[in-house]
Amino acid sequence: MPDFPLTLISHPLCPFVQRAAIVLLEKKVLFDRINVDLSAKPAWFLALSPTGKVPLLKVRQADGGDAILFESMVICEYLEETQGGPAMYPQDPLARARHRAWIEFASQTMTDGWQFLHAVDVATADARRSAFRDKLRKLEAELRAGPYFGGNDFGMVDAVYAPLFRYFGIIDPAAAEAVFQGLPRVSAWRAELAARPSVKDAVVPDYANRFRDHLRQNGAIIAC
């Protein structure tokens, strides 16, 4: 395996890992990737991760040692500050701050979407779908001409939302349509993100099958 200065410690299904992978790919940074079994976390991983979660970014230092970064947005911000390639934020300070605010908004949006996908009964699924659609309506009102969140240029907000939208290209199309119905801007944005090479390449080739298996194993009614 090639020895690169950056190593992304990962799990094949983790959406937060995908954020970092997308930024690395957008910036065309060569990196190693190590997947960890989170159901049986190895001792070396627990020694590196204060939270016991992925992603981690291992950064080779000049003295040959490694620095460890954790939390997906911390990693993404570090990559933005230290790596070349296209900027992931607008130059204008106000626009940049607004983009960061919508990244923060993604946290609850992700929670609502995840809970909908994993609902094990109809009542919970309906309630979480409604909550998720409420978040999507707020995004719909914010989006403009596109094709990306900030316009013509793919940016950090796109990298953050792409892993969430990916799920809805995997589940039953009728269920996905019910979620995005009446949201043309969000639907167009989702399609653009799905077609982006960095988004496609941020996951393993059999990701869709792995995610479907994950839903079935957790008893999600959407997988039935």
Instruction: List domains and CATH numbers for the chain.
Output: 6-82 (3.40.30.10), 93-223 (1.20.1050.10)
Place of tokens 């190693």: 32
Q: Which two tokens stand for residue 208?
A: 């869709």
pLDDT tens for each residue of the chain, 224 residues long: 467 999 999 999 999 999 999 999 999 999 999 999 999 999 999 999 999 999 999 999 999 999 999 999 999 999 999 999 999 999 999 999 999 999 999 999 999 999 999 999 999 999 999 999 999 999 999 999 889 999 999 999 999 999 999 999 999 999 999 999 999 999 999 999 999 999 999 999 999 999 999 999 999 999 97
User: Which among 184, 178, 187 is positioned nearest to 129, based on CA atoms?
Assistant: 178
Do 57 and 68 form a contact (C-beta atoms < 8 A)? Answer: yes
Whose CA is closest to 133, among 173, 177, 101?
177
Claim: this prediction has a pTM higher than 0.85: yes
